[in-house]
Structure 1
Amino acid sequence: MDRETDGTLTDTYVAAIQHDRADVPDDATLVGVVRKPTPWFHAAVDENRAALAPSAELLETFQATVDDLKMRGICAEGAHNAAWDEVGFEAAYRDHLEESADARAALADVVDRLEDGESLALVCYENTDKKRCHRTVLRDVLETEGAEVRD
């Protein structure tokens, strides 16, 4: 890619957008990457690419594990992060991105858009200051495929 003309890739979470705390370029297209966006999520982003979200099965397994850990007395943030490891979330999500035809097509589209000079910001629900999130894995995958990532 020609780094002089390519768009940049960043990420944020929806509450940061809603409270004007998102650190994204002004011209960035806000691309939701959630499986089931709420109406208020749709209102905060320019588009949603559900194919780039974790699979429904992974999300269900993850949430059941989070709920179980919380029932055992672990705080919400701790349960979230512990469940991430317990279900092998990152590896399962990477497998989904590699094996799903819809996800592969969506990844290729994002890379093409970046190569065409469009700046994109990936958006989901999680505040990554406190919780692990698929957005960071997705950014890594896109960077591996040639996208310029802005920190």
Structure 2
Amino acid sequence: MSVETAHAVAVRERDPASEARGSSARADRDEPREEPLWVGVVRSPPAWFRRRVDLLRPRLGLSTETREELDRRTRDLRMQGLCEEGAHNAAWEELGIDDRYRDRLASGSDHLLGEFDALASRERPVVLATDRRPGFRCHRTVLASAIRERRA
């Protein structure tokens, strides 16, 4: 199973209806290719996001406590004059979000990551989608790495 990531711009541009039509057209060719499964990994996804992913797995988002702490620290850094992206990324680094998220996955990896085993058995590509804009640090890259490590 290949695992990719997609940020908000790619998710917004995705049209699930045209992908469904495209996969039936591909079935007539010699090289059928299964479309990727778009999995939303956002704790509280907005309505537009829900319509553009195939599966929602909010449990794989940052914990509510971590998200709130990140938002508070980002606001503090913005007040000190950092741009939105810079404040977010600095807060992410300062709070050690990558390590905290990895620890959370490790503490319950069978529970949180187990459903990816069934997807992997079909060898369908997976796209981990988020509502974050490009340039902003996001847990989906850590999650993608953890899934690849689990599959190795």
Whether contact under 8 Å (1:54, 1:96) holds in the other structure is no
* Displacement of 1:29: 1.0
Query: Partner residue of 2:131?
Result: 125
* Displacement of 1:53: 0.8
The answer as to 2:136 corresponding to 1:104 is no
- The worse-fitting range, judged by mean Cα deviation, of 118-127 and 42-51 is 118-127
For 2:122 and 2:48, the matched residues in 1 are separated by 29
Q: Which amino acid aligns with 1:144?
A: E
For 1:35 and 1:10, the matched residues in 2 are separated by 19
Whether contact under 8 Å (2:12, 2:49) holds in the other structure is no
Q: Deviations over 1:10-45 (max 9, x none)?
A: 11023213225xxxx870111000100111110111
Q: Which amino acid aligns with 1:118?
A: R
Q: Deviations over 1:94-134 (max 9, x none)?
A: 1111224xx63231111331122222110002234x12111
**Greater radius of gyration (CA):** 2
Query: Partner residue of 2:87?
Result: 79
Matched pairs, number: 135
Query: Partner residue of 2:73?
Result: 65
Q: Which amino acid aligns with 1:122?
A: L
For 1:115 and 1:127, the matched residues in 2 are separated by 31
Q: Which amino acid aligns with 1:71?
A: M
Query: Partner residue of 1:54?
Result: 62
- The structure in which a higher percent of residues are helix is 2
Instruction: Give the percent of matched residue pairs that are identical in Structure 1 and Structure 2.
Output: 34
For 1:89 and 1:29, the matched residues in 2 are separated by 26
Q: Which runs of 5+ in 1 are unaligned?
A: 1-6
Q: Deviations over 1:73-93 (max 9, x none)?
A: 100011011001111111111
Which portions of structure 1, spanning 4 or more consecutive aligned residues, are displaced by more than 3 angstroms?
none
Query: Partner residue of 1:16?
Result: 10
The answer as to 2:150 corresponding to 1:145 is yes
Query: What's the secondary structure of 2:129's corresponding residue?
Result: strand
Q: Which runs of 5+ in 2 are unaligned?
A: 15-32
